[in-house]
């Protein structure tokens, strides 16, 4: 049996970043991933807000495009453009980015185990089992994604739910690089469709939905234009946030997608994941120094304190739109356009923190114009979130 201070399961951006931080503190860290090639297959839209700069985890060379905003489309084609006269989001080369974060961790002294699948995490004895060996440590961090067996073991009575995500990289006609396109219709609710420009002649076209993979594929194929040529196809699961999910047991903790630390309305988890890495690493250091796992429970508490209100508000918005029809959306877009909501969204909108925008829509009274379609009871649910 090989012993480490820390074992990290999952060498995605969250697991690699946590491993790097702890190795920099002088701890003996092992990083396991079932894949032989980091970052592949691609399972992310690769779009993040400029808020990621606050995490100090983004090198310039992985940014392949910078966007100023988005064109929002209703089912009948009504368009609302929102944005600023500056960059609001980055389009990333996610394969290159994942490799950068992994290499950074290894450079800091992390011991990598690529192509070695972790078959079991023993949360009672703080050890893991692969096909050929068993490894133990003082602390185990599981950042292995939404299909996480350890999460199921730690939450035996909790129903784990995920969205289906599907994305194509396509060659296309020359396009505007400054704005991405977001579309909505009743068949993909509570998800949406995106078109993210990656270069003048390529873009990522994708969606997430509660439906099946086959249904998602049909919807995505219908989104393609005649000139589009599919280069790559990618799919995966996007975990649903659940405030009742247990993410710490004994000396084992969950992080990132494995913990469901993902924005409900967009499925994005990089920035929230990096912020949770910071919380987890600070409390991990305290735990290892004092040999007291109460600090891991502090990580769980601090995560909920930071994100529960925001994520619950987003879930309420998601629940409102879940049962809406195309006619409902067409009505709402016309109302939003009529009252110049594009300006409000452009000024107060934030990809990561949506409560300020919801508060402004209530403050200006615009949200009450939508009552005929969202209903008074559902409006009260939003009100309670603010």
The pLDDT of residue 37 is 87
pTM of structure: 0.93
C-alpha to C-alpha distances, 41 to 96, 157, 372, nearest whole angstrom? 12, 31, 44
**Are the CB atoms for 295 and 287 separated by under 8 Å?**
yes
Q: How far is CA 245 from CA 190, 238, 365, 372, 377, in A?
A: 21, 15, 35, 35, 27
pLDDT tens sequence across 35-81? 988 877 666 889 999 999 988 899 999 999 999 999 999 999 999 99
Residue 348 has pLDDT above 80, yes or no: no
Q: 78-92, 94-108, 259-273, 344-358 — which is least confidently predicted?
A: 344-358
> For residue 305, which phi and psi values (nearest 5 degrees)?
-65, -40
Label residue 373 by pLDDT band (50, 70, 90): low
Predicted pLDDT of residue 246: 96
pLDDT digits (tens, 9 = 90+) for 108-129: 999 999 999 999 999 999 999 9
Asked if residue 209 lies in contact with residue 188, where contact means CB atoms within 8 angstroms, the answer is yes
When pLDDT is cut at 50, 70 and 90, the band that residue 179 belongs to is very high
Q: In percent, how much of the chain has pLDDT > 70?
A: 94
Q: What would the mean pLDDT of 129-138 be, rounded to a whole number?
A: 95
Structure confidence at residue 9 as a pLDDT band (50, 70, 90): very high
Whether the pLDDT of residue 172 is over 80: the answer is: yes
Query: Is residue 99 a contact partner of residue 17, using CB atoms and an 8 Å limit?
Result: no
- pLDDT, tens only, 220-249: 999 999 889 999 999 888 999 999 999 999
In the prediction, which pLDDT does 277 show? 98
* CA gap 277, 261 in Å, rounded: 11
Structure confidence by residue, pLDDT tens digits, 273-317: 999 999 999 999 999 999 999 999 999 999 999 999 999 988 888
Distance of alpha carbon 255 from alpha carbon 245, whole angstroms: 12
What's the mean per-residue pLDDT of the chain? 90
Integer CA distances (angstroms), 207 to 52, 171, 217, 267, in order = 22, 18, 9, 10
């Amino acid at each position: 049996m090989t012993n480490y201070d820390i074992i990290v399961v999952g060498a995605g951006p969250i697991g690699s970043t946590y491993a790097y931080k702890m190795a920099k503190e002088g701890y003996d860290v092992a990083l396991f991933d079932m894949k032989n090639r980091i970052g592949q297959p691609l399972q992310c839209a690769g779009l993040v807000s400029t808020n990621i700069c606050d995490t100090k985890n983004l090198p310039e060379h992985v940014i392949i495009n910078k966007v100023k905003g988005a064109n929002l489309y209703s089912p009948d084609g009504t368009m609302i453009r929102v944005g600023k006269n500056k960059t609001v989001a980055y389009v990333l080369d996610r394969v290159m980015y994942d490799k950068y974060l992994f290499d950074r961790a290894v450079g800091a002294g992390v011991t990598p185990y690529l192509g070695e699948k972790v078959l079991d995490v023993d949360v009672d004895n703080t050890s893991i089992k692969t096909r050929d060996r068993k490894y133990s440590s003082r602390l185990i961090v599981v950042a292995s994604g939404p299909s996480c067996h350890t999460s199921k073991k730690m939450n035996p009575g909790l129903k784990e739910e995920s969205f289906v995500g599907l994305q194509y990289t396509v060659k296309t006609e020359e396009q505007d690089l400054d704005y991405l396109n977001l579309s909505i219709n009743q068949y993909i609710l509570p998800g949406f469709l995106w078109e993210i420009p990656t270069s003048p002649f390529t873009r990522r076209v994708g969606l997430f939905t509660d439906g099946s993979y086959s249904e998602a594929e049909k919807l995505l194929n219908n989104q393609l234009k005649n000139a589009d040529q599919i280069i790559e196809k990618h799919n995966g699961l996007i975990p649903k946030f659940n405030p009742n999910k247990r993410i710490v047991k004994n000396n084992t903790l969950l992080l990132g997608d494995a913990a469901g630390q993902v924005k409900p309305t967009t499925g994005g988890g990089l920035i929230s994941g990096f912020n949770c890495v910071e919380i987890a690493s600070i409390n991990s250091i305290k735990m290892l120094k004092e040999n007291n796992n109460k600090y891991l429970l502090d990580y769980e508490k601090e995560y909920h304190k930071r994100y529960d209100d925001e994520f619950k508000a987003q879930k309420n918005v998601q629940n409102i739109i879940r049962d809406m029809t195309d006619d409902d959306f067409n009505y709402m877009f016309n109302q939003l356009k009529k009252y110049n909501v594009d300006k409000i969204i452009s000024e107060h909108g934030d990809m990561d923190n949506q409560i300020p925008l919801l508060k402004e829509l209530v403050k200006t009274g615009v949200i009450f114009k939508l009552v005929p379609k969202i209903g008074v009871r559902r409006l009260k649910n939003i009100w309670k979130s603010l």
